[in-house]
């Protein structure tokens, strides 16, 4: 198992209430887990996911998670 932290934002918050606003939820996942696999496990509807960042860098759904990764997931958002 590896340990990661994950944050879901905006409308996706409802699939994983954070311990406190903005704080990541620590999770243990089997080695080899992809972002896609992780989100499926959490029950996040993938069609609502627009942006995934791992350690602050845009990542694809196929990205294979590593120990201590920080994952942020967003639906379509914008502003300015």
Partner 1 sequence: MEKLLRVNMSDLEVRSEELPDEYSLLGGRAMTSTIVAAEVPPTAHALSERNKLVFAPGILTGTTAPSSGRLSVGAKSPLTGTIKESNAGGISAQKLASLGIRALVVEGQPAEKGFYVLVVSAEGAKLEPAGALAGLGCYELNTRLWEKYGTGAGIMCIGPAGEAGMPNAGVSTNDRENHPGRYAGRGGLGAVMGSKGLKAIVLVCDKTFEAPVADKESFKEAQKLLSKAILEHPVTAQALPAFGTAVLINILNEAGGLPTNNFSSGRFDDAAKTGGEAMAELCKTRGGKGKMGHGCHPGCIIRCSNIIPDEKGEVACAPLEYESSWALGANCGIGVLDTIARLNYLCNDVGLDTIETGVTIGVLMEAGLLPFGDGDGAIALLDKEVRNATPLGRIVGAGAEVTGRVFGVVRVPTVKGQGMPAYDPRAVKGIGVTYATSTMGADHTAGYSVTSNILKVGGFVDPLKAEGQVDLARNLQIATAFVDASGLCLFTAFPLLDIDYALPAVADMYAARLGRPYTVADAIEAGKEVLRKERKFNEAAGFTKAHDRLPDFMKYEKLAPHDVVFDVTDEELDSVYNF
**Residue among 9 and 15 whose Cβ is closer to partner 1:** 9
What whole-number distance in Å separates Cα of residue 41 and Cα of residue 19?
Answer: 19
Nearest distance from residue 45's CB to partner 1, in Å? 13
Measured CA distances, 46 to 1, 11, 68, 75 (Å): 24, 13, 23, 9
Binding residues vs partner 1 (CB under 8 A)? 7, 9-11, 13, 18, 21-23, 50-51, 53, 55-58, 72, 74-80
With H, G, I as helix, E, B as strand and everything else as coil, classify residue 79: coil
Nearest distance from residue 11's CB to partner 1, in Å? 7
């Amino acid at each position: 198992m590896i340990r990661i932290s994950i944050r879901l934002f905006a409308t996706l918050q409802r699939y994983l209430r954070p311990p406190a606003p903005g704080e990541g939820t620590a999770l243990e996942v089997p080695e080899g887990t992809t972002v896609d696999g992780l989100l499926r496990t959490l029950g996040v509807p993938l069609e609502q996911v627009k942006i995934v960042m791992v350690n602050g860098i845009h990542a694809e759904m196929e990205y294979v998670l590593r120990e201590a990764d920080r994952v942020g997931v967003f639906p379509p958002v914008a502003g300015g």
